[in-house]
Every structure is written in structure tokens, then in C-alpha cells.
């Protein structure tokens, strides 16, 4: 799916009706992905776009800095470039402000729809530790099962803590490990033992099994939601 350029508001053509057409075409594609329960990366991109527009709306100086200029030539005497302007900065800023005012409600509504889908899916994902849960659970494996899956997927994970002057954050790194064809003998405990055999460097891993009531896309939905759930579980 084609992304909406970060600077689409200030890119030619500066016309509210045209920009609304561009935005609604983009949102229509996203809603088509929502219908397939595909949330990411669309939701993250929408939030970034929304925050950018709010910042521009609240900061007229930042908006004026994006005013387009055409290089006309170079003033050799004063050693500076000379720009020409097809429209006045005042008119340009006013038109872009109108476009921002038009776009914000559409983005907000589409973000809310994505969040509602996210929350509904998350509510229907069951998680439980496999075996005895170690005291240190910032590294290990998670198992993904869902309706419609022919295989059980296994991923390794590691949660790290990093700090900024303002706050502390948790970051998660994941890697695909393997997959098991579903059958009655392939239990979560069996998978845990197999992972310990294959990766003896981690002899006492944390292992969490996730089960979804939805047949959801892995990369676009299941993994992003599980990653956030794991970062909340890890006691670091």
C-alpha cells in the first residue's frame, strides 16, 4: 500500500479539495486493510501524521518555514541566493491551515477505528506461561497459535530497558525461531523442551503461549500486539 508522504500537506498542489481527495484515497486503502484485520504499520503512520499536523497547527512559525520558494538566482554582491514566490506567504499559510483543519478529523477518526480493532483483538488473545515462570523473564520465547493457523509459530524475544532524561522505556527485540505442524503431540511443553534442546545457551527460558480467537495476520497484527504484551509482562 502506498504511504502518505510525510510532507503531503505542503507538497504541490496546495488546494484543499485536491488534498482531501488524496487523504480520503489513502484512508480508504487503510480501511480496506482494517477489514482484513491488518493494523500495522498503518496505525503508527496515521498517529505520526496526526501528531505532525497538530504540531503545525499549533506552531505557525513551523508552518511558515515550509513555505515553498523557487530559486531565481544568486546575488553575487551580497553572496546570497534569491528566491521567487508564486503566491504570498500569507495566502499560502492560510490555505495550508485550511487543509490541516480538514485533515485532522479524518485522521483522528481513522486512528480511533484502528485502536478499537486493536483493543478488540487484544482482549481475545489469551496468554499463559509454559511451565514454571523464572524470576528473570526478560528473555525467552513466545508461541503463537490462532484460529486458521496450520502451524504453531515460535519466536525468541529479549526485552531491554533504556533511559532518557525524561523517562524509562522498554524495547523488545524479536526473531523468528521455528514452526511446528499442529498435532496432538505438539504441546506447548513439548515446544519448550525442543527450544531448550536447540538453544542450550538459554537453559531456563521464559516461555509464553499466546492463543487468539481471531484468524489474524501475523506480521501486520498478531506480532505487534504480542510484542507490546510481552513488554508489559517482563519484570525489568
> How far, in Å, CA of 111 to CA of 49, rounded?
10
Tens-place pLDDT, residues 67-96: 555 545 444 455 454 444 444 555 777 888
Domain definitions of the chain by residue range: 16-123, 126-233
109 C-beta neighbours (distance < 10 Å), count: 11
Long-range contacts of 137-140 (CB under 8 A, 24+ apart): 137/206, 137/233, 137/234, 137/235, 138/206, 138/234, 138/235, 138/236, 139/202, 139/205, 139/206, 140/202, 140/205, 140/206, 140/207, 140/208
105 C-beta neighbours (distance < 10 Å), count: 9
Domain 126-233: CATH architecture, name and number where available: 3-Layer(aba) Sandwich (3.40)
Cell reading at 126: 489469551
> How far, in Å, CA of 227 to CA of 118, rounded?
13
With cut-offs at 50, 70 and 90, classify the pLDDT of residue 148: confident
Tens-place pLDDT, residues 11-39: 878 889 999 999 999 999 999 999 999 99
> How far, in Å, CA of 41 to CA of 233, rounded?
23
With cut-offs at 50, 70 and 90, classify the pLDDT of residue 5: confident
**Whole-number average pLDDT of the chain:** 86
Tens-place pLDDT, residues 185-194: 999 999 999 9
Range name among 14-28, 50-64, 218-232 with the lowest pLDDT average: 50-64
Pairing of strands 168-181, 151-163: antiparallel
Residue 14, pLDDT score: 83
Amino acid at each position: 500500500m502506498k504511504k502518505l508522504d510525510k510532507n503531503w500537506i505542503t507538497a504541490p498542489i496546495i488546494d484543499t479539495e485536491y488534498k482531501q481527495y488524496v487523504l480520503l484515497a489513502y484512508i480508504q486503502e487503510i480501511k480496506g486493510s482494517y477489514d482484513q484485520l491488518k493494523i500495522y504499520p498503518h496505525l503508527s503512520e496515521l498517529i505520526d501524521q496526526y501528531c505532525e499536523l497538530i504540531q503545525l497547527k499549533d506552531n505557525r512559525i513551523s508552518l511558515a518555514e515550509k513555505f515553498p520558494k523557487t530559486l531565481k538566482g544568486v546575488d553575487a554582491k551580497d553572496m546570497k541566493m534569491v528566491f521567487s514566490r508564486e503566491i504570498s506567504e500569507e495566502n499560502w499559510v492560510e490555505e495550508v491551515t485550511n487543509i490541516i483543519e480538514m485533515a485532522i478529523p479524518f485522521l483522528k477518526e481513522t486512528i480511533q477505528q484502528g485502536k478499537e480493532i486493536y483493543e478488540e483483538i487484544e482482549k481475545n488473545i489469551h496468554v499463559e506461561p509454559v511451565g514454571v515462570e523464572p524470576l528473570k523473564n526478560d528473555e525467552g520465547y513466545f508461541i503463537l497459535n490462532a484460529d486458521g493457523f496450520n502451524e504453531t509459530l515460535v519466536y525468541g524475544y529479549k526485552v531491554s530497558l533504556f533511559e532518557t532524561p525524561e523517562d524509562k522505556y522498554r524495547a523488545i527485540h524479536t526473531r523468528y525461531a521455528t514452526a511446528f505442524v499442529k498435532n496432538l503431540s505438539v504441546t506447548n511443553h513439548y515446544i519448550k523442551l525442543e527450544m531448550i534442546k536447540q538453544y542450550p545457551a538459554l537453559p531456563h527460558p521464559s516461555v509464553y503461549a499466546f492463543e487468539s480467537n481471531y484468524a489474524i495476520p501475523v506480521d501486520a497484527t498478531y506480532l505487534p500486539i504480542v510484542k507490546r504484551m510481552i513488554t508489559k509482562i517482563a519484570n525489568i
